[in-house]
A and B are shown apart, each in its own frame.
Chain A
Amino acid sequence: MRRWLYLLPVAVFVLMAGVFYAGLGIDTDVLPSPLIDEAAPQFDLPPLPGSRNGLATADFKGAVSLVNVFASWCVPCRAEHAVLNALAATKKVPIYGINYKDKGEAANAWIAALGDPYTRIGADDGRVGIEWGVYGVPETFLVDRSGHIRYKHVGPLTQADIDKTILPLVARLQQ
């Protein structure tokens, strides 16, 4: 039997250990979206009851937009909302809201209580959410000037996400 064969189990072990170690850093809750670099889905959503304009694909044309999928029943959205309010105050990027599978009055009450970072809000019964590949609110997308989705964030945004990822990307897309 040749010598190198004795080293084979060690080599296999090292290889597998390397793969597993790399796998430790993967967040399995975040799924890769096939929509990245695709045109944003075509949709036209009505506004919240008694409220301003709804939201449609055409609203994204010409400027970099942040699209935030939220709901009043979504607890992490509550945590995220202060971060969105702070981002809206910087006026660096318009924030568009998709109110996902929510009751209109509940959403209005939520906005009234927590503040309104949104330039426009569309009320979605779930169908437009599917168009965007939404599987867990909150989800946030960055859409570039040509209306293509460039980035997707699943879960609540933190201030660190805004500072380290969202704003640098917005600046790059706005160039």
Chain B
Amino acid sequence: MIRRLLASLMLLAALAPLPARAVQPDEMLPDPALEARAREIGKELRCLVCRNQSVDDSDAPLAHDLRVLVRERLVAGDSNDQVVAYIRSRYGDYVLLKPPFQFDTWVLWSAPALILLAGLWSVGRYLRHQARMAGAPPLSADEAERLARILDEKPGP
């Protein structure tokens, strides 16, 4: 039973979709360290033809050209940051899949924190209100007697 379960799990794992990278074998660098750096860069660059794919994921000709360009510059000795800066100087911030924190993006990046703060503020306000209600003064003797009388009253016919 367990063996059969394991076998079917392994079969499922084999069928699971592998991350479909578009990087072609003839684009890859012989040096695995440089190729790994190229992958790291390619993951972060947006393909401007398909917009929501990275350069590594896209089959568009422009994405191919950019992958080749990234590798050429790495071979020429550029750092990762230099390669990204060059492509950003041509295509703008939009080419970065992760927008940088700067003047026109601070609202984007700080929105989650601001919304959290607003939430904390309203929860705090609510709790303080509750506490004030809970701390209401006890009934006076007079009030307690009146309450007992009301509770003792027989329901009407």
Contact = CB atoms under 8 A, between A and B. Distances in A.
Interface of A: 31-35, 101, 126-127, 129-133, 135-136
A133 B46 CA distance: 13
Contacts of A101: 61
A101 B60 CA distance: 13
A136 B90 contact: no
A79 B61 CA distance: 22
Contacts of B62: 126, 130, 135
A133 B69 CA distance: 13
B65 A127 contact: yes
Contacts of A34: 88-93
A32 B92 contact: yes
Contacts, number: 38
24 contacts: A31-B94, A32-B92, A33-B92, A34-B89, A34-B90, A34-B91, A34-B92, A34-B93, A101-B61, A126-B61, A126-B62, A127-B65, A129-B65, A130-B65, A130-B66, A130-B69, A130-B90, A131-B90, A132-B90, A135-B48, A135-B49, A135-B62, A135-B91, A136-B48
B92 A31 contact: yes
Given A135-B48, A135-B49, A136-B49, A126 B92 contact: no
A28 B81 CA distance: 27
A32 B61 CA distance: 21
A130 to B, nearest CB: 6
Contacts of A136: 48-49
Nearest to A34: B92
Contacts of A127: 65, 69
Nearest to B122: A5
A133 B91 contact: yes
